Amino acid sequence: MSEGRRSFVVRYLGPLLPLSLAAYGIWVLFSGEYTYRPGRGNGTVTLLALDARLMGLFQLFLAVLVTALGVSGRKAWWCFRIGLAGAVLCLVVEGARQLMRIAVHA
């Protein structure tokens, strides 16, 4: 395939991944609650307040990180740096909250 022509998947379906991650992150961020129901078993895990918002921020930064794969030049470098730094920061903060046992579960 020539360099100038991109396939249908790359051109039209490729941007849906970062958009869906961002939409999901915004939904969790504004709703303030996230419930995970595993496929097997009766238990559920519900994240409330700060923990759900950290998850929403993580999803947004993950969307920025995935966007870096689809752009080029300086935009790719900035998207990669911002997305990676934000995602790692959210994981570190949430991990610290889990280790200190101050995470909020319902």
How does 66-75 read in b/e, with b if 16+ C-beta sit within 10 Å?
bbbeeeeeee
For 79-99, write each residue's pLDDT tens digit: 999 999 999 999 999 889 888
* Contact partners, residue 58, CB within 8 Å, separation at least 6: 25, 86, 87, 90, 91, 94
Bridge partner residues of 105 (DSSP): 47
**Taking the domains of the chain in order of start, what are their residue ranges?**
8-99
CB of 48 closer than 8 Å to CB of 33? yes
pTM: 0.80
CB 68 within 8 A of CB 79: yes
Q: What is the pLDDT of residues 37-61, one digit of tens each?
A: 777 777 777 777 788 899 999 999 9
